[in-house]
């Protein structure tokens, strides 16, 4: 389409993505009196919870905490049914938010942003979409999510399989009926750990292809007790405050003691207590879990022992036992994951030393041995944190692309801005606590911070904000230094981009904890947004 027939729409802000981040950003911008449009590739809102509809998909942070807190009315009126809400309920919640705050009229669905180019003379972003829309906006806000670019591995013959294939992160909206089917699944991360027990219950046979075994603790999901809900709702402000004081921005009832300061008996009691509490509360067991090798080994051995108790076949149990550092890859929370391998219709195939040779029309082969199935599931994760940004042609000052700038790893100031890309913000971008925390809480902090910056610029008649190179370099060094002081820097996780062939190994999230991060952001603001160049 030519310029003449595509009128440019002029706005204060374009927001890319209508998940938790994009929706609240729109609401906040409107509250501040700015015009904004959200562009969303999906046909509905929800981001992660719109796309990840695989069987068993549910949140692994308690729903009473994994929810917005910006509106007291919203958090009082919404009823969660289970400790960890299933995907459908999360999506219903998000759609309720869209309706309640009348957001849909400023969201353009079924549209993918293809480019965002900074016009230096006018200090504006020119944003184009695959529908030939053109927007000119003072601010471009990327709410594209940390785990939204599906990773389909480059396995030989991948297109030759004659049956249906599915990726957990792009699941069909009508669901998939596995009844009577022979199913193969590749991957054993968080998504697979939730999907495997559900698929196994339906399928005639399930073959799991495992490259790396995963640490998982019981989620202990259950319907929510109305008394508990009542109590939380009466004291929501206090719970939210406590949660924000925690490293992970959710209340794990964290033990402030390091294991090194505890007796053997105390440690044993704490481990069993954490196991019974269920879910990611396990992170809160010992203050030195991620920094002390001895503590980590002890926790890892405890969980290994539990796996051995759950899985009847010792050879299968051995294969399912992780050898790596505990929580080095993201900890998983499951319902009957390990028990599923006791079923007669489930087979585990180790591909750690002999990868898949090729996918064939009938299935796949490993070390020359053929495995046949009717349906193939990829639970192979995402090109995390940078993948969805790199899909967009983002050009800053002098036409430089963000992808080029980040070719040796993402570089940001506070995970919010990247030098040379003025007026461009990334919500929960690399260099922010994001995936190490309760995402909704981190998103709210970013959205409110970005809103404050934009309001400040309006008040002081400023046209552009850009991170300075010095502040960015110092922040990137700090992010790396903090990660380097922990044990999580050492394994092949998606935190490091190690799951994507050719991706630079750089620890992407900030692992210094939510409270110090917020303190740093607030200090920056108090000092007139130090580290940013304002003009």
String marking each residue 183-212 x if it binds ligand NAP according to CB under 6 A = ---xxxxxxx-x----------------xx
Q: Which helix (H) or strand (E) holds 453?
A: helix 439-459
Other Cβ atoms less than 10 A from the Cβ of 243: the count is 21
The piece of 58-66, 288-296, 392-400, 512-520 that touches ligand NAP (CB under 6 A) is 58-66
Cβ proximity to ligand NAP: between 126 and 151 the closer is: 151
Cβ proximity to ligand NAP: between 284 and 531 the closer is: 284
Q: Closest by alpha carbon to 462, among 361, 533, 414? A: 533
Candidates 27, 45, 49, 60; binder of ligand NAP (CB under 6 A) is 60
Cβ proximity to ligand NAP: between 39 and 439 the closer is: 439
Candidates 55, 381, 431, 531; binder of ligand NAP (CB under 6 A) is 381
The piece of 55-63, 86-94, 131-139, 261-269 that touches ligand NAP (CB under 6 A) is 55-63
CB of 332 to ligand NAP, least distance (A): 7
Query: Can residue 138 be called a binding residue for ligand NAP (CB under 6 A)?
Result: no
Cα torsion 359, 365, 368, 370: sign? negative
Cβ proximity to ligand NAP: between 357 and 473 the closer is: 357
Cβ proximity to ligand NAP: between 378 and 529 the closer is: 378
CB of 211 to ligand NAP, least distance (A): 3
Cβ proximity to ligand NAP: between 142 and 147 the closer is: 147
CB of 351 to ligand NAP, least distance (A): 6
Q: Closest by alpha carbon to 473, among 391, 398, 405? A: 405
CB of 57 to ligand NAP, least distance (A): 6
Q: State how far the alpha carbon of 48 is from the alpha carbons of 7, 278, 448, in Å.
A: 32, 23, 21
**One-character DSSP codes across 231-292:** HHHHTHHHHHHHHHTSTTSS------S-GGGS-HHHHHHHHHHHHHH-GGGGGGG-TTTTT-
String marking each residue 447-476 x if it binds ligand NAP according to CB under 6 A = ------------------------------
Q: Which helix (H) or strand (E) holds 48?
A: helix 48-51
Residue nearest to ligand NAP (CB): 189
Residues 147-186 that bind ligand NAP (CB under 6 A): 147, 153, 155, 168, 186
Q: At what angle do helices 264-277 and 293-310 cross, to 10 degrees?
A: 50
For tokens 């759950």, the residue is: 310
Distance (Å, rounded) from C-alpha 484 to C-alpha 496?
Answer: 12
**Cα-based torsion angle of the residue sequence 403, 404, 407, 410 in order, rounded to the nearest 10 degrees:** -60
Residues 475-504 that bind ligand NAP (CB under 6 A): 494, 499
String marking each residue 382-421 x if it binds ligand NAP according to CB under 6 A = x---------------------------------------
Distance (Å, rounded) from C-alpha 468 to C-alpha 422?
Answer: 10
**One-character DSSP codes across 332-371:** EEESSHHHHTTSTTEEEEE-SSS-EEEE-SSEEEETTEEE
* Rg of the chain on CA atoms, in Å: 23
CB of 502 to ligand NAP, least distance (A): 13
CB of 506 to ligand NAP, least distance (A): 16
Name the residues that contact ligand NAP, by CB under 6 A. 58-60, 147, 153, 155, 168, 186-192, 194, 211-212, 330, 351, 379-382, 435, 494, 499
């Amino acid at each position: 389409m030519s310029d003449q027939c595509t009128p440019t729409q002029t706005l204060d802000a374009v927001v890319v993505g209508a998940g938790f981040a994009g929706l609240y950003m729109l609401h906040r911008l409107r509250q501040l009196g700015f015009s904004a449009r959200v562009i969303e590739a999906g046909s509905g809102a929800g981001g992660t919870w719109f796309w990840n509809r695989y069987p068993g998909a549910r949140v692994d942070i308690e729903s009473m905490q994994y929810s917005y807190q910006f509106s007291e009315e919203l958090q009082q009126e919404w009823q969660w049914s289970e400790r960890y809400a299933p995907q459908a309920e999360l999506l219903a919640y998000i759609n309720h938010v869209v309706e309640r705050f009348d957001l849909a009229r400023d969201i353009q669905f079924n549209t993918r942003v293809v480019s965002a180019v900074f016009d230096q003379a006018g200090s504006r972003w020119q944003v184009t979409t695959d529908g030939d829309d053109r927007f000119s906006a003072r601010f471009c806000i990327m709410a594209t999510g940390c785990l939204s670019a599906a990773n389909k591995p480059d396995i030989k013959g991948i297109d030759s399989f004659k049956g249906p294939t599915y990726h957990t992160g792009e699941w069909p909206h009508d669901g998939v009926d596995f009844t009577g089917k022979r199913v193969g699944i590749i991957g054993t991360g968080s998504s697979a750990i939730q999907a495997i027990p559900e698929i196994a219950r339906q399928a005639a046979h399930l073959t799991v292809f495992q490259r790396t075994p995963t640490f998982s603790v019981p989620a202990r999901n259950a319907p929510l007790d109305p008394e508990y809900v009542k109590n939380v709702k009466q004291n929501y402000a206090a719970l939210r405050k406590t949660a924000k004081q925690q490293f992970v921005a959710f209340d794990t009832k964290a033990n402030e003691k390091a294991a090194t300061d505890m007796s053997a008996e105390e440690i044993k009691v704490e481990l069993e207590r954490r196991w019974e509490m269920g879910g990611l509360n396990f992170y809160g067991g010992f203050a030195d879990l991620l920094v002390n090798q001895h503590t980590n080994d002890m926790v890892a051995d405890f969980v290994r022992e539990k796996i051995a108790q759950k899985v009847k076949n010792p050879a299968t149990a051995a294969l399912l036992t992780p050898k790596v550092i505990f929580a080095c890859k993201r900890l998983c929370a499951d319902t009957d994951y390990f028990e599923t391998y006791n079923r007669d219709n489930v087979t585990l195939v180790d591909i750690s030393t002999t990868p898949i040779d090729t996918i064939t029309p009938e299935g796949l082969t490993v070390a020359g041995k053929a495995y046949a199935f009717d349906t193939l599931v990829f639970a192979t994760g995402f090109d995390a944190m940078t993948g969805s940004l790199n899909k967009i042609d983002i050009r800053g000052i002098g036409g430089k692309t963000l992808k080029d700038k980040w070719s040796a790893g993402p570089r940001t100031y506070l995970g919010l801005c990247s030098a040379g890309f003025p007026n461009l913000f990334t919500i929960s971008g690399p260099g922010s606590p994001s995936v190490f925390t309760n995402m909704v809480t981190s998103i709210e902090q970013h959205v409110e911070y970005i809103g404050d910056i934009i309001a400040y610029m309006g008040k002081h008649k400023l046209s552009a904000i850009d991170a300075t190179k010095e502040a960015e370099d110092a922040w990137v060094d700090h992010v790396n230094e903090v990660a380097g002081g922990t044990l999580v820097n050492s394994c092949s996780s998606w935190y490091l981009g190690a799951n994507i062939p050719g991706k630079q190994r750089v620890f992407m999230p900030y692992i210094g904890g939510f409270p110090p991060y917020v303190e740093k952001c607030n200090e920056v603001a108090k000092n007139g947004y130090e580290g940013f160049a304002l003009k």
